[in-house]
Structure 1
Amino acid sequence: MKEWTAIIPNSQLIVIPFPQNQPSSWSAKLYLTPSNSVLLTAIALIGVCVFILVIIGILHWKEKKADDREKRQEAHRFHFDAM
């Protein structure tokens, strides 16, 4: 005997009883009907990813700007070892 405990509400479950004399080898197919919540979840996920990418871009730009400023200060520094 086979048990299927993870049946999702508002879905269609189709059981294929083949071979008929071996219920343990029957298979089940679960069909989901997509709803607006799937679309909203995808939009939210994409929004969060874009938000994180913007934050990473801003931090990268600030770091690059600070590195350039530091490089310019190093170039203007007088080196006593060169004398």
Structure 2
Amino acid sequence: NLHGNWRVKYLRIIKDSGSFDLAVGELAISTTIAVMSDDTGRPTVSMASCAATVGSVNVKFHGGASWLYNLFSSFINKALHSALQKQICP
């Protein structure tokens, strides 16, 4: 779980802020590393493979106009799910 603060400023007219809670469930990461040596004989470590599965993502906004942002939470959850999946194992 992650707790944080958010702030929005748009065209000097719209200003809003609050906090959020982010929960990620059923996260599985599998990696394989390769230990080798370079041309000088020094050891090197590299990632041979990486796979990640993000089960669920749920964000809840608090404060400000959070009631409005929470109406779109399912779309935000899908976007965060996709972004996490891609960034864990690029």
Shorter-chain TM-score: which interval?
under 0.3
For the pair shown, which has the larger CA radius of gyration, 1 or 2?
A: 1
Relative contact order (C-alpha < 8 Å, sep 6+): which is higher? 2
TM-score between the two structures when normalised by the length of structure 1: 0.25
Alignment TM-score, normalising by the size of structure 2 = 0.24
Return the structure number with greater strand share: 2
